[in-house]
Each structure stands twice: as structure tokens, then as C-alpha cells.
Amino acid sequence: MLSSLADVVGSKHVLTDPDVLAARSIDHTGRYRGRASALVRPGSADEVAGVLRICRDAGAFVTVQGGRTSLVAGAVPEHDDVLLSTERLSAISEVDTVERRVTTGAGVSLAAVQTAALSAGLVFGVDLSARDTATVGGMASTNAGGLRTVRYGNMGEQVVGLEVALPDGSVLRRHSRVRSDNTGYDMASLFVGAEGTLGVITELDLRLHPIPAHRVTAVCGFDSLDLLVAAGRMFAEVDGIAALELVDGRAAALSHEHLGFPPPVAGDWLLLVELAADHDQTERLAELLDDAQLCGEPAVGVDAAAQQRLWRVRESLAEVLGVYGPPLKFDVSLPLSAICEFASRSADLARRQVRDSLPLLFGHIGEGNLHLNVLRFPVEREADLYAEMMELIAGCGGNVSSEHGVGTRKRPYLSMSREAADIAAMRTVKAALDPTGYLNAAVLFSPSP
């Protein structure tokens, strides 16, 4: 099989070095490990299709890898898999400023797309802290959201066309230049959010947006989470909302202690809010802040430098979370009415298991898309907490995953968010496109009974 793969992609792009494979078989969190037999790096959609045909015929499992920023073991192999990397699918077309779109390979980083958009006077609607390493193919596969979701929506709302190598080794190309297309199934939506189980996304047509002429940012402090949630509800409905981020005050304190970034305001809970429009939003923001029950004066940034300083309270979290070792991460979507209950009960759960654990909550409050990170929680104790936390999320009316996907880590809990008929229908689609189940076999679905 290895010689056949080399014939397709070139011998230098088929790697079997044990150290390379070991490094590629560990999750971004450092908590989850797998095993692989080879790493293959195709350079085109046809090469991806050729790799898939060979692996299918050989009965080899395939795990697809992009930037490997998954937090739920979505890129960790379980079956001595062939790792299929999209890193060489790195082409970016010239930006179409009339249609406001750009075509990119699946292996292009988010930062590269953002740079291309900005150079053309436009903006890409999705932003993540992992922008330098996350790839747009992986982001589409998990339907990632991020820091601008409250304004532009998730990744699926940015994808207007795509190219996919299917499990049978054929290539589906869905590139439509028209803005309204009602000619059958919405194929792009089928593969966006499928976590690589139905095919390998190789190329995407991405929607771009005009850059607002004016932007104003504020960080506000609150004495209680319920007051912050109430303010978040208000801001989420405002025309011109561009970002709405919750930050645990304890996380901000850690950033100060370890990175030297003092929080811009005091408060047990912080809310970063940003408005953007074609006209100055400063007075409008001041009026809205007057209606919120803050615990002190907000910090407001009108110019770019001041706004960047305020954003550090949110952006620095990714760097500081690992200060006590790999944190235990929970990506959760909750009704806004359940956030306070979840925050309290999840902290109690964590501390009951490990007394000195440190649960920190932050995320996209406008959509109830939150990230709970439990620090100082030993890897060997994870199983003690994970199932209870999933039960709590479901009991609060939430979904066990919001924007990180189900991956491997959350697959036993899919039935908490999907009914049996949903899962059966998804399995039917999977079986239709991948009858042998060899593609991303560890992801999303638990083994059939």
C-alpha cells in the first residue's frame, strides 16, 4: 500500500518515521493520544481522491488532519490509521471584490485568509484565537464559530462552494457563481459540520464582508454572572453588534499574573462588547452601557491601539490556560437562561472531584456558546468528571458540543443532544457515502451495537 501511495503523491510525501507519527497522533490539548501507520500529504484534490481509493481498497482506516487544533480528539487516529494531511492544499485565489469571495485550499490557515481579505479591503467573518494554525478546511468540517459569530455567523454561513474528495475516490466540485441557487440538495451544507466523516474537503469558496468604517470596543465589569448575562441579552439584539465575549475575572487575573496584562476593569465577570458600523457608534455604546448594571466605569477604546489593548483580556486566555498543565476543556452550547446554573454547578462538580481544581468560564455569550476550562485537573482523573459534566449540560437544556465538534472524545454523548432517529439518519448518510466506514472512523459515531 505504501508504494501505491507514493506513486500518487510522491515518495517524499509518504512518511513513516515513528517520531513524526507520534507527534501527529496527539491531540492539541495534550490529553489524547492515538497511533498511526503513515502520514500522507497529497497536493491536489485528485491526489486526495487517489489516496482514499488506495486506502479503501486496502482496508486501511484514514484520519484527516488540518491544523490539528481540535480540542475533542477529532484528529487523533484510533486504528493504526493512515493520516491524510491537507497541509499542501494551500493555494489562495485572487480575491473577487465584486462578488466578495475568495477560493482557498483546505490547508490554508485562517490568518492567511484574513490577510488576503484585508488586502482587498474586505474582512472574513470568522475569527479564532488559533488563527495562525487552524485551517479553513478543518474549520468548515466542524462548522467553527468564534469571536465574530454574533455578527457574521458560523463557518457554514461563510462557505458558498466547495470541492470534496469522496470516500469512493471521486471528486465532487460544487462551485456556483450565482448568489441564489435552488437546484437540488445543498451539498455544501452536507459536508460542513460533518467532521470529515463524509468526505475530505479540499477547496472552499468563502464569503467575504465589507469592513465597517467605525468600530468601538468596551470592557465592562460585573459583580455577578446573572447581571452580565442580562447585559449580554441586551447587546446581542443591537444593530451593529460585532463581538460579545464573556471572560471569567479569575482568568483575567491569571493573565495579569503570568503574562503581565492587567485587566482593564475590576469585576468578578468581564464582558467585552464591540459595535461596528458605517457611522460612529460611540454615543450609542455609551447609552447602552448606561442601562447595564456595571460594578464600575467601563474601559472604552475608540482607536485601534486602545481596542487592541482591550482585546488582550480575551485573546490572552489561550496562552495562559496551560499554565498548570493541559486543561480539561468543555465546549458547550446553553440557553442563556441556564448559564448561571451551569456555571455554579459545573464548578461544584469539578471541585468535588479535585478540591483545588480551578474552573474558568469564557466564550461567546451572545449565542450561549461557552468554553469551560478546568485547570489543575489531573489527566488520570478526567473520566471521573467527564460523564457527570455531560449529564449536567444536557440537564441544563444544552448541547454537548457547540463549535468544536463531537470528535472522538464526545461521541459517547451524542445521544444527549440528538434523538435516536437523528443519529440513525446520520448513520444512513454515512453508510451511503462510506459503506466500509473507513474515513474518520473514530469521529462522531460510536461503534454500532
Distance CA 299, CA 221 (A): 9
Distance CA 155, CA 139 (A): 7
What's the pLDDT score for residue 187?
84
What's the pLDDT score for residue 215?
94
Domains 213-323 and 324-417 share a fold: yes
Q: Assess whether pLDDT exceeds 90 at residue 241.
A: yes
Residue closest to 69 by CA, chosen among 240, 258, 318: 318
Q: Assess whether pLDDT exceeds 60 at residue 341.
A: yes
Q: Listing from the earlier edge strand, what are the strands of the sheet with 214-222?
A: 299-301, 214-222, 269-277, 241-248, 358-364, 369-375, 328-333
Q: Could you read off the pLDDT of 101-159 as tens digits, one per residue?
A: 999 999 999 999 999 999 999 999 999 888 998 999 999 999 988 889 999 999 999 99
Q: Could you read off the pLDDT of 221-237 as tens digits, one per residue?
A: 999 999 999 999 999 99
Q: Could you read off the pLDDT of 74-92 as tens digits, one per residue?
A: 788 888 999 999 999 999 9
Percentage of the chain exceeding pLDDT 70: 99
CA distances from 106 to 64, 91, 204, 441 (A): 11, 9, 7, 20
Work out the average pLDDT over 428-432.
95
Q: 116 or 188: whose pLDDT is higher?
A: 116
Which range, of 25-39, 89-103, 124-138, 233-247, averages the lowest pLDDT?
25-39
The per-residue b/e assignment along 324-353, b for 16 or more CB within 10 angstroms, e otherwise, is: eebbbbbbbbbeeebbbbbbebbbebbeeb
Work out the average pLDDT over 40-48.
97
CATH number 3.30.465.10 is the correct assignment for the domain at 92-210: yes
Question: Quick one: DSSP state of residue 194?
Answer: S
Assign 32 a pLDDT band (cuts: 50, 70, 90). confident
Distance CA 56, CA 144 (A): 28
What's the pLDDT score for residue 448?
57
CA distances from 360 to 255, 264, 272, 370, 395 (A): 12, 18, 16, 10, 20
Ordered DSSP codes for 25-43 = TB-TTSS-B--EEEEE---
The three grid cell numbers given for residue 309, joined into one nine-digit string: 489593548
Q: Could you read off the pLDDT of 56-69 as tens digits, one per residue?
A: 999 999 999 987 77
CATH number 1.10.600.10 is the correct assignment for the domain at 324-417: no
Distance CA 133, CA 89 (A): 14
Distance CA 349, CA 368 (A): 20
Question: Quick one: DSSP state of residue 155?
Answer: G
The three grid cell numbers given for residue 176, joined into one nine-digit string: 456556483
What's the pLDDT score for residue 73?
67
Kindly list the domain boundaries of the chain, sorted by start residue.
Answer: 1-85, 92-210, 213-323, 324-417
Residue matched to cell numbers 517524499: 12
What's the pLDDT score for residue 145?
86
CATH of domain 213-323: 3.30.70.2190
CATH architecture, range 1-85: 2-Layer Sandwich (3.30)
Distance CA 234, CA 160 (A): 31
| Helix ranges (DSSP H) in 166-321 | 187-191, 225-236, 249-259, 282-290, 304-315, 317-320
Which range, of 48-62, 155-169, 435-449, averages the lowest pLDDT?
435-449
Query: What is the chain's percent helix, strand, coil content, to nearest 5?
Result: 35, 25, 40
Q: Could you read off the pLDDT of 201-225 as tens digits, one per residue?
A: 999 999 999 999 999 999 999 999 9
What's the pLDDT score for residue 184?
79
Q: 404 or 366: whose pLDDT is higher?
A: 366
CA 64 to chain centroid = 16
The three grid cell numbers given for residue 142, joined into one nine-digit string: 466542524
What's the pLDDT score for residue 71?
65
Which range, of 203-217, 354-368, 398-412, averages the lowest pLDDT?
398-412
> Mean pLDDT, the chain, as a whole number?
91
The three grid cell numbers given for residue 194, joined into one nine-digit string: 460533518
What's the pLDDT score for residue 188?
84
Taking the model in full, what pTM does it have? 0.91
Percentage of the chain exceeding pLDDT 90: 70
Assign 173 a pLDDT band (cuts: 50, 70, 90). very high
Report the DSSP beta bridge partners of residue 38: 82
Contacts (Cβ under 8 Å, ≥6 apart) of 311: 217, 272
Q: Counting Cβ atoms within 10 Å, is residue 186 exposed (0-12), middle (13-18) or buried (19+)?
A: exposed
What's the pLDDT score for residue 41?
97
Assign 383 a pLDDT band (cuts: 50, 70, 90). confident
